[in-house]
Structure 1
Amino acid sequence: MTWDVLNIIGTIAFAISGAIIAMEEDYDLLGICVLGLTTAFGGGMIRNLLIGIPIETIWTQYHLFQIALFSIIIVFLLPTIIIRYWNKWGTFFDAIGLAAFSIQGANFAVQSGAPLSAVMIASALTGVGGGLVRDILAGRKPMIFQSDVYAAWGILTGLVLGLEWVHGTFEIIVLLIIIVALRMCSVIFKWRLPKHFKGQTKP
């Protein structure tokens, strides 16, 4: 039950995220659908490759493809004035997708018997993989490589689940809310990871 709900939440959130960015880049309907679907399923495909699950299993999730496509079409039909609020709400949808898929990826790795390090990597890549593919296809600087705290929340999710600090549906939901809140705080308060300081050089 929890697994299915996380799948649906993450799929809808990332499908909307990809569709809105495609509309910002002035893609046609086909381009919007392609970018929305690759954003929704890119993380899962990367996760499958990482922990040795046959990548073609992604095609068995036909109900999620229908949900993602339906979400994309709804976004496409929304008035332009609503899409202009992307900077406010788009980050929120992306945060939901990051949290939901990070939890899902970590759970998948734990159930596969992967070590803690692999659980953390699977969590992070599942959470950020869709957004990474989205940004590359849209010709944007991938969010994962920017200085704001993004992929770190996926790693933290993997650590928590890999150490089995969370059990049961209620605790999973609480973790989801915490990760979304942390991601939004990192955006609102401009939390940054350290960057290399480039000092001035003499002419």
Structure 2
Amino acid sequence: MTWDILNIIGTIAFAISGAFIAREEDYDLLGVYVLGFTTAFGGGLVRNLLIGLPIENIWKQENIFEIAFLGITIVFFLPNIWIGRLKKWVVFFDAIGLAAFAIQGANYAVSIEAPLIVVIMAATMTGAGGGMIRDIFAGRKPMIFHSEIYALWAAFAGIAIGLGAIRGPYATFFLLIVIVFLRMISVYFNWNLPHKHTK
């Protein structure tokens, strides 16, 4: 049940964030749906490829597709003035997707008794997959490579789960809230990992 709930949370959050980005880039109706669905299910595809789940499982989630469709549709029909005011919510929904899929990837890696480094990698790539695909499709530099601390929070989920510090659904959802909070404050305070400037 925890897996299913995380999957729903992550998919919907990324669908909405993808639709917001598409609106910012002035995409037409088709473009909004394409970017929304790509963001929503791109993370799942990365997850399944990374941790060995069948790819076809993605297409068997009819209810989630319908919910994602509804979320994207609502974003598309929001008045333009609302999009400007709600721009900060893109980061919030992206943070939710990042956290949910990072925890999923880490949990699965632990379930197959993978070593800690693999758990961390699974959490990082699974959590950042949807956002990375979204940014590439939108012609933007992926946040995983440059934005306020991003992938590190997904790796944090992998460390916490890989070390056995998180057990049970309540602890899992507490970790999700913590990761979302850390991602949001890193944006608010503009925290960044060290950069090596060449100019």
Q: Normalising by structure 1, report the TM-score.
A: 0.92
**Once the 2 structures are TM-superposed, how far is the Cα of residue 138 of structure 1 from its aligned partner?**
0.4
**1:59 aligned to 2:29?**
no
Alignment partner, residue 39 of structure 2: 39
Q: How far apart are the structure 1 equivalents of 2:154 and 2:117?
A: 12
Alignment partner, residue 107 of structure 1: 107
Question: Partner letter of residue 7 of structure 1?
Answer: N
Gaps spanning 5+ residues in structure 1: where? none
**Once the 2 structures are TM-superposed, how far is the Cα of residue 51 of structure 1 from its aligned partner?**
2.2
Count of matched residue positions in the alignment of Structure 1 and Structure 2: 199
Alignment partner, residue 135 of structure 1: 135
**Once the 2 structures are TM-superposed, how far is the Cα of residue 31 of structure 1 from its aligned partner?**
1.1
User: Structure 1 residues 82-91 or 143-152, which shifts more?
Assistant: 82-91
Q: How far apart are the structure 2 equivalents of 1:112 and 1:53?
A: 12
**Once the 2 structures are TM-superposed, how far is the Cα of residue 148 of structure 1 from its aligned partner?**
2.0
**Once the 2 structures are TM-superposed, how far is the Cα of residue 147 of structure 1 from its aligned partner?**
4.7
User: Structure 1 residues 4-13 or 48-57, which shifts more?
Assistant: 48-57
Q: % of aligned pairs identical?
A: 62
User: Structure 1 residues 104-113 or 149-158, which shifts more?
Assistant: 104-113
Q: Which has the larger radius of gyration?
A: 1
Q: Normalising by structure 2, report the TM-score.
A: 0.94
SS at match of 2:166: coil
Alignment partner, residue 24 of structure 1: 24
**Once the 2 structures are TM-superposed, how far is the Cα of residue 152 of structure 1 from its aligned partner?**
0.5
Alignment partner, residue 187 of structure 1: 187
Question: Partner letter of residue 74 of structure 2?
Answer: I
**Once the 2 structures are TM-superposed, how far is the Cα of residue 137 of structure 1 from its aligned partner?**
0.4
Question: Partner letter of residue 79 of structure 1?
Answer: P
Q: How far apart are the structure 2 equivalents of 1:163 and 1:97?
A: 22
Question: Partner letter of residue 99 of structure 2?
Answer: A
Residues 161-201 of structure 1 show CA distances to partners (whole Å, capped at 9, x for unaligned) of: 111111111111111111011101110111110111446xx
Residues 1-59 of structure 1 show CA distances to partners (whole Å, capped at 9, x for unaligned) of: 22222111111111000001111111111111110011011112112112222222211
Q: How far apart are the structure 1 equivalents of 2:105 and 2:58?
A: 14
Contact 2:20 2:87 in 1 (8 A): no
SS at match of 2:87: helix
**Once the 2 structures are TM-superposed, how far is the Cα of residue 85 of structure 1 from its aligned partner?**
2.3
RMSD (Å), alpha carbons: 1.4
